Chains A and B, each alone.
Chain A
Amino acid sequence: HPWETVTTAAMQKYPNPMNPSVVGVDVLDRHVDPTGKLHSHRLLSTEWGIPSIVKSLIGTSRTKTYVQEHSVVDPVKKTMELKSSNISFTNLVSVDERLVYKPHPHNPDKTILTQEAIISVKGVSLSSYLEGLMANTISSNANKGREALEWVINRLNAEIEEFTASARGTMRNSMAAAAFVEK
């Protein structure tokens, strides 16, 4: 998909069926910097399906994990960079992720994503096991992320089709529908 489509979908990534644990998304800050890049700071709340008996012991406010995400979109250079790190009450494991979306250098209808994750675990004995486990999860999540964006793109396209179908029915002039045509 072209970069504009992927970037628009990435801004509306949640909810989607591939990430059912994300239960809340909020924008903490957003501004366009002097060079024209859009910065967004978002807070994602995730809920991992902890058994209710555990919840009743530790309280529901502690069952959510929060992820802080900073994204920068450069509409001139056509890059979107996302950095996220998890915030939790325990800070035992921290995961920092960095994703960059750019148009494919040879095919403008495609977008390239590069993704890296840095996992840090405090406490020695389980660290290499946990890191191995999380590394596997993160690489399968990379695929899931792509599927999630495909899903969002399909949803947006379906909305556009519905809109243009009803617009054709009520308006002769198709200029209004053209405002939403995908590149």
Chain B
Amino acid sequence: MNSVGEACTELKREYDQCFNRWFAEKFLKGESGGDPCGQLFKRYQLCVQKAIKEKEIPIEGLEFMGPSKGKTENST
């Protein structure tokens, strides 16, 4: 499955593999401590955010769209 940003597909695949494993083996079994995929996720995220801005996809209510959008969002 591809990413919305063509350049991000490989990063996405690496992250997905890590996440799917953690989800089935740890999270669903009640051990949610320590998400091992944090680094992969960050790298993948940076790429996706750039792609979304470039393609001007109108996503509402997301922090990373920047102050110019004037939207508020609970910080996580």
> Contact between A87 and B59 (Cβ–Cβ < 8 Å)?
yes
A-B CB contacts (within 8 Å), total count: 83
A179 within 8 A of B: yes
Q: Separation in Å of the A117 CB from the closest CB of chain B?
A: 20
Partner of B59, one of A23, A24, A28, A38: A28
A24-B28 in contact given A29-B76, A43-B52 (Cβ < 8 Å): no
Set of chain A residues within 8 Å of B58, measured between Cβ atoms: 87, 89
Q: In the complex, which range does the number of interface residues on chain A fall in? A: 35 or more
> Contact between A24 and B4 (Cβ–Cβ < 8 Å)?
yes
> Contact between B1 and A75 (Cβ–Cβ < 8 Å)?
no
A7-B28 in contact given A24-B2, A43-B4 (Cβ < 8 Å): yes
Chain B CB within 10 Å — which of A26, A29, A32, A41 has the most?
A26
Instruction: Give Cα A180–Cα B24 distance, bound, in whole angstroms.
Output: 9
Partner of A32, one of B24, B32, B59, B62: B32
> Contact between A28 and B48 (Cβ–Cβ < 8 Å)?
yes
Q: Separation in Å of the A178 CB from the closest CB of chain B?
A: 11
Partner of B30, one of A33, A39, A76: A76
> Contact between B76 and A43 (Cβ–Cβ < 8 Å)?
no
Interface pairs A-B: 9 shortest CB-CB: A24-B4, A8-B24, A31-B76, A24-B2, A15-B1, A26-B48, A4-B28, A26-B4, A45-B4
B residues whose Cβ falls under 8 Å from a Cβ of A: 1-5, 8, 12, 15-16, 19-20, 23-25, 27-30, 32, 35, 41, 44-45, 48, 52, 55-60, 62, 76
